[in-house]
């Protein structure tokens, strides 16, 4: 039986996130000597704001959003790990579905994790080669990761985007995918697709989910 045809429950799902959750970490990522780019990509949208204004007027909203998201997702039974590092990839073998929340640094062709920037090849080398679950790359710009995974982790199913994606909307879709899995016997990819199609048909639903 293919992994896509196995009923999935939230307890089988593992989401890792590498974004900063403290003001100190946020400001450190803004420094010129830091190779990280996610926070700097936010700064590029607000070039006249200093670090304090960027944190207070923009990023704190995301922190509050994610805190609420995390509580709801954990209540459904899923596992979330903050401060996601390269070494954490080995732990995905305990789960049927793995979803990394990671920033792809296009200029350097590397993925940004908590412990630094890594090439797609370095990222994939730390995934157990016999992993046979679902790797959900829809919460990042992921075409190169997809290609590398497809070549080297042959037993897994991969979902990916080929364009940039809104982080909060993708997290909302993830949360409601888990809700569907919790209250019905569904396959992960089918459940996610159903939620995504519903939102495409009626984006007003975002106000209610």
- Residue 29: name the closest of 87, 115, 140, 100 by CA: 115
The winner for highest mean pLDDT among 15-29, 161-175, 188-202 is: 15-29
Average predicted confidence (pLDDT) for the chain: 90
pLDDT band at 208 (very low <50, low <70, confident <90, very high): very low
pLDDT at 143: 82
Over residues 74-90, the mean pLDDT reads 96
pLDDT at 2: 47
Tens of pLDDT, residue by residue over 114-125, are 999 999 999 999
Over residues 70-74, the mean pLDDT reads 97
pLDDT at 1: 43
Q: Is the pLDDT of residue 188 over 90?
A: yes
**Cβ atoms of 117 and 36 closer than 8 Å:** yes
Tens of pLDDT, residue by residue over 150-174, are 999 989 999 887 777 789 989 999 9
pLDDT band at 62 (very low <50, low <70, confident <90, very high): very high
pLDDT at 161: 76
116 Ramachandran zone, left/alpha/beta (phi>0; psi -120 to 50): left
Over residues 181-198, the mean pLDDT reads 91
Q: Is the pTM of this model over 0.85?
A: yes
Give the separation between CA 138 and CA 61, rounded to whole angstroms.
22
The pLDDT > 70 percentage for the chain reads: 94
Where is 18: in which H helix or E strand?
Answer: none
Q: Which residue has the higher pLDDT, 140 or 130?
A: 130
Q: Is the dihedral of CA 67, 16, 115, 151 positive or negative?
A: negative
pLDDT band at 138 (very low <50, low <70, confident <90, very high): confident
pLDDT at 160: 84
């Amino acid at each position: 039986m293919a992994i896509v045809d196995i009923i999935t429950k939230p307890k089988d799902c593992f989401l890792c996130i590498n974004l900063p959750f403290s003001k100190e970490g946020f400001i450190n990522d803004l420094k010129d000597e830091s190779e990280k780019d996610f926070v700097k990509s936010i700064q590029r949208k607000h070039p006249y704001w200093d670090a304090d204004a960027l944190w207070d007027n923009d990023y704190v909203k995301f922190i509050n959003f994610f805190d609420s998201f995390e509580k709801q997702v954990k209540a459904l039974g899923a596992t979330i790990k903050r401060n996601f590092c390269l070494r954490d990839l080995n732990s995905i073998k305990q789960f049927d579905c793995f979803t990394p929340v990671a920033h792809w640094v296009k200029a350097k062709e590397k993925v940004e994790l908590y412990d630094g920037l890594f090439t797609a090849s370095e990222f994939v080398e730390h995934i157990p080669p016999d992993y046979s679950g679902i790797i959900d790359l829809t919460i990042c710009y992921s075409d190169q990761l997809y290609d590398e995974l497809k070549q080297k982790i042959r037993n897994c199913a991969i979902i990916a985007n080929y364009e940039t994606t809104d982080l909060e909307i993708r997290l909302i879709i993830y949360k409601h995918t888990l809700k569907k899995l919790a209250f019905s016997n569904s396959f992960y990819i089918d459940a996610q697709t159903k939620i995504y199609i519903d939102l495409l048909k009626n984006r007003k639903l975002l106000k209610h989910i």
